[in-house]
Structure 1
Amino acid sequence: MALDVAAMAARALSSACFASQLQASSNLCVLDLRPNLQYRQSHIQDAISLSLSNLLLRRVAANGIGILPGYVKERLARASTIVLYDAETEDVERSADQKSALKVMLEAVQAVAMSVYFLCGGFSSFQSAYPDLCKVVAAENASSGSSTHGLAATQAHPHYHPSAPSAPAAGFAQSHPLQCRNASNLNLRLPSGRACAKSSAEELLSETKSPAQLAPHMFLGSIDHASDSELITSLGVTAVLNVSTQCKNYFSDRLKYMQIPVEDKINSSLMPYFQQAADFIESVREANGIVLVHCVGGVSRSPTVCIAYFVLKHLMSVDDAYAHVKNRRPMMDPNFSFMGELRMLEKRLRQEDHQLMAGHAPRVSGSATA
């Protein structure tokens, strides 16, 4: 699809005009295309971070917005007006970077929506003119005495009591801009400061008492959590993903269940179930429900499935997904065989991306099969 430069020039939106729309309309979708670190420091109010790697930009250019995460597509579908911005682009037509995120995303979004604009002068110009309409995250975190480590400062589930270490695993918040973006849009608040540090015994006790919240729609736990009717009700769980052969589906009369009958053995395989499990979890999210993923101890099988979900549905690398789950539930430890299958999944997805780059049939996000 050819880039309609004339249409793009006509779609430029001044800071003044955008400020008026931002204050008057509740049906805007604003996409911040700058690097995730810049977004975490400051951004226009209500903007969604969409920091795309070069590889994903190529996939968007080839496939359109269909490969974007579900929460972004939902916001785009609901919006009457869509505004994109980067750091400081004044004129898309004369931009030196012909493959910039702004150009690629404008083309992709214009293919499916009518009222699509880019903010002339980007965030820099808008913040200078309308600082009150921008959110300075770093300053707010400093004043509140807490740190979100780059994750969105939205409260987690009211019944959730964090027991994870106070900082993400090395490299999680620094590398892979898209993966950090997806993790940040899971709307989790990490524990702040070393004051949260616990002894290993206290930490283990806390972990076993409560399931770990990996996302607003997703908890990871054990058979103890899955069989606790009062806990299930208090968490608002609507579905359960049972990754075991021996655990019962205790509340099948009122909850939606999926069971993966796999044992925690070195010769067991979860690979054939990765896609189905990821689709199940995503269907719960799309229905505004909450899913509890569990096995017997919540140590090996169920964490493996959760990592596969983030890889398939949130476009995270295995390392970043592993770090995120480990941060929320430090006792998790997938067996060697399951980790190998996760690496195989990642390798397959990478090969399909290479095929796309080479001009072969593209992969649709989340469509890998065993």
Structure 2
Amino acid sequence: MAVEPKIPCQMYFSGKADSRSLWGYTRPGCLYLGGYKPAFNTEYLESKGINLIVNTAEGLNKYMGPRYAKQHANRVQKLPHIEEININLQDSIDQKLDFKELSEVAHKINEYLENKQSVLVHCAQGKSRSATLVIFYLFKHHNMRMAEAFKLVQSKRRMAEPNPGFVNQLMEFERMKEKTK
């Protein structure tokens, strides 16, 4: 039987503004991975104690139209204490990852989790861009190999599948880091 890695936060996946516990319980300082809908469900955000939302999807407001802007404004009005970080990634194999930016955001995620504050990382579907950031976070802050982090994320959110361009860049980043050790 596989043993769960010893990481200070628990990981959950969310979908349709709902969340299912992956390790059997909810507590402060959890990491959530999902699509954009949970980011606008104020009851969900409050119930999970989410204080940081990381949006990895570029142009959601453009693709989702005025309803997206209205939902965002509503959430900000109801929950002004939630910090939001936007990483403008296109889900394209040609999209270049800015590892300096990803490192800064991963550090911020880690700060929140260490302070027992929950974090939601999302993109449009919770499949490629957000999964890429969570994999990078696990690599950077929990000394997991990229392949191990990918398997963990995919075991917790089966639809998680970073696009091939992101996977290649993550693996190259790992190889570069190994060479500098």
Give TM-score scaled by structure 1 length: 0.40
- Is residue 94 of structure 2 the alignment partner of residue 267 of structure 1? yes
Higher relative contact order (CA closer than 8 Å, sequence separation 6+): 2
Tell me how many residue pairs correspond in the alignment: 160
* Aligned-partner Cα distance in 2 for 1:294–1:244: 8
Q: Which runs of 5+ in 1 are unaligned?
A: 1-146, 152-182, 191-205, 354-370
Alpha-carbon distance in structure 1 between the residues aligned to 2:120 and 2:103: 17
Question: Residue 49 of structure 2 corresponds to which residue in structure 1?
Answer: 236
Contact 2:11 2:156 in 1 (8 A): no
Q: 1:212 to 1:331 in 2, by over 3 A?
A: farther
Q: String of CA shifts for 1:152-198, please: whole Å, max 9, x gaps.
A: xxxxxxxxxxxxxxxxxxxxxxxxxxxxxxx23446599xxxxxxxx
TM-score normalized by the length of structure 2: 0.78
3-state SS of 2:140 partner: helix
Residue of structure 1 aligned with 2:15, choices 187, 195, 208: 208
1:147-158 aligned within 5 A:
149-151=2-4
Trace 1:277-288 onto structure 2 (pairs within 5 A): 277-288=105-116
Which protein shows a greater Rg?
1
Match of 1:293 among 115, 121, 124: 121
Cα gap change, 1:214 to 1:257, in 2 (>3 Å): farther
* Pairing 1:221–2:34 present: yes
Over 3 Å counting, the alpha-carbon distance change for 1:236 and 1:150 in structure 2 is same
SS in 2 for 1:258: strand
Three-state SS of the structure 2 residue aligned to 1:331 is coil
Q: How does 1:116-195 map to 2 (within 5 A)?
A: 149-151=2-4, 183-186=5-8, 188=10
Indicate how the Cα distance of structure 1 residues 228 and 187 shifts in structure 2: closer, same or farther if over 3 A, else same: closer
Corresponding position of 2:65 = none
What one-letter code is carried by the residue in structure 1 that aligns with 2:6?
S
How far 1:211 moved relative to its partner? 4.4
Letter in 1 for 2:138: F
SS in 2 for 1:260: strand
Partner in structure 2 of residue 337 of structure 1: 165
SS of residue paired to 1:261: strand
- Distance in 2, Cα, partners of 1:245 & 1:239: 18
> What stretches of structure 2 of length at least 5 have no aligned partner?
24-28, 62-68
Query: Sequence identity, in percent?
Result: 24
Residue matched to 1:255: 82
Greater strand proportion: 2
Q: Is the 8 A contact 2:34 2:126 kept in 1?
A: yes
Task: Give distance in 2, aligned partners of 1:335 and 1:277.
Answer: 20
